[in-house]
């Protein structure tokens, strides 16, 4: 089969289309013909050699996909060849075919295209884990979601506002992105680049009014996040785009307000954890997906031979929602 391989031997890493061994499904697994995969920032790090895959995972980039089941491994009863599926991957999405445990795959709703299906898994399942499993989201709470125009941010805004009827606050770097977030259900969308988002939000809603923060920035937002959180507030940290080290950290707010702080990654979780998370998400959200109450936000679609242009768009932070790669099923195997 064909796959996109990361060539990071030079100063400027690039993706190269090459021949690659086709995976074989083990017991409990599916072999899937990939029709679409979505970009994630982890792809850019792995391309640079800075984010190695978990032990035993495919070394190829690509953390989610949608496609058609070609073959089932021993013991699989939940799917059969010809079924349309989507799901998370620990790696392997930048290829024509992949394998994944049947327990982690999900049936693609009839109304969804493969492109739409590939845009669901990482964004919505990460958001469900962060908001509900780790953040303990309750109805009618006030939630601050950083990076609201990203794939995860756009999914989290929808889940919090539409399923949990929460007041949603978010940050984004341009008026176009802030308007987009408000259209998804955010009550307030604040510029984090040219204003102090904490001061702006306190001016709008008051101090210590936030129950849950989903943060992708880390150090740059740390003190302001703690200032905004109220008693028994929760902070879930998803990435460190704004730095990893907080200078002169003040621990008093954590004790005084009984704050709970969780950090998480999803890629290196066990298959059992992922299976339970995926099934919980689908049980609670499948009807909302089918009805359109929840929907993936697609920024752009590229043929997989144009992967460098797709990566550049993400690197420059120009996307609103998910960037998709398609066309792998059209190539000769």
| DSSP characters over 125-140 | IHHHIIIIIIT---TT
Specify the pLDDT at position 1. 97
Please name every residue paired with 235 in a beta bridge, in sequence order, or none if there are none: 213, 261
Q: Residue holding tokens 């998910």?
A: 322
| CA-based end-to-end distance of the chain | 5
CA distance 214 to 205: 18
Angle at the Cα of 308 from the Cα atoms of 96 and 46, rounded to 5 degrees? 75
CB neighbour burial string for 132-168, b if at least 16 within 10 angstroms, e if fewer: bbbbebeeebbbbbbbbbbbbbbbbbbbbbebbebbb
CA distance 146 to 127: 12
Specify the pLDDT at position 9. 81
Specify the pLDDT at position 150. 95
CA distance 133 to 224: 24
Check if the beta carbon of residue 215 is closer than 8 Å to that of residue 235.
Answer: yes
Residues 6+ apart with CB under 8 A from 88: 63, 64, 100, 104, 121, 122, 125, 266, 274, 278
Residues 6+ apart with CB under 8 A from 64: 37, 38, 40, 86, 87, 88, 89, 93, 118, 120, 121, 122
Specify the pLDDT at position 207. 92
Residue 213, classed as helix, strand or coil, is: strand
pTM over 0.85: yes
Of 192, 250, 243, the residue nearest 218 (C-alpha): 243
Check if the beta carbon of residue 95 is closer than 8 Å to that of residue 20.
Answer: yes
- Count CA atoms within 13 Å of residue 313 on its CB side: 20
Q: Give pLDDT < 50 ranges for the chain.
A: none
């Amino acid at each position: 089969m064909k796959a996109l391989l990361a060539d990071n031997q030079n100063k400027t890493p690039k993706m190269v289309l090459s021949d690659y061994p086709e995976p074989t499904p083990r017991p409990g697994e599916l072999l899937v013909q990939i029709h679409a995969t979505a970009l994630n920032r982890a792809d850019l790090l792995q391309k640079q050699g800075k984010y190695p895959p978990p032990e035993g995972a495919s070394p190829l980039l690509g953390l989610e996909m949608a496609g058609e089941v070609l073959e089932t491994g021993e013991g699989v009863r939940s799917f059969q060849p010809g079924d349309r599926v989507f799901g998370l991957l620990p790696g392997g999405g930048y290829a024509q075919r992949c394998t994944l445990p049947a327990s982690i795959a999900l049936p693609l709703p009839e109304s969804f295209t493969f492109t739409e299906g590939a845009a669901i898994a990482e964004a919505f399942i990460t958001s469900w884990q962060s908001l509900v499993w780790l953040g303990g989201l309750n109805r009618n709470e006030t939630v601050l979601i950083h990076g609201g125009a990203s794939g995860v941010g756009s999914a989290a805004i929808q889940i919090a506002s539409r399923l949990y009827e929460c007041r949603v606050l978010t940050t984004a770097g341009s008026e176009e992105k802030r308007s987009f977030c408000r259209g998804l259900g955010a009550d307030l969308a604040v510029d984090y680049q040219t204003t102090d988002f904490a001061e702006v939000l306190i001016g709008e809603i008051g101090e210590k009014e936030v129950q849950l923060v989903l943060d992708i920035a880390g150090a740059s937002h740390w003190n302001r996040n703690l200032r905004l959180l109220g008693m028994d507030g929760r902070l879930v940290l998803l990435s460190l785009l704004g730095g990893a080290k907080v200078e002169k950290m003040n621990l008093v707010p954590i004790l005084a307000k009984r704050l709970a702080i969780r950090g998480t990654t999803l890629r290196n979780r066990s298959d059992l954890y992922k299976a339970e998370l995926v099934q919980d998400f689908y049980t609670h959200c499948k009807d909302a997906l089918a009805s359109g109450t929840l929907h993936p936000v697609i920024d752009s679609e590229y043929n997989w031979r144009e992967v460098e242009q797709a990566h550049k768009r993400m690197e420059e932070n120009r996307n609103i929602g998910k960037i998709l790669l398609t066309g792998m099923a059209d190539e000769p195997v």
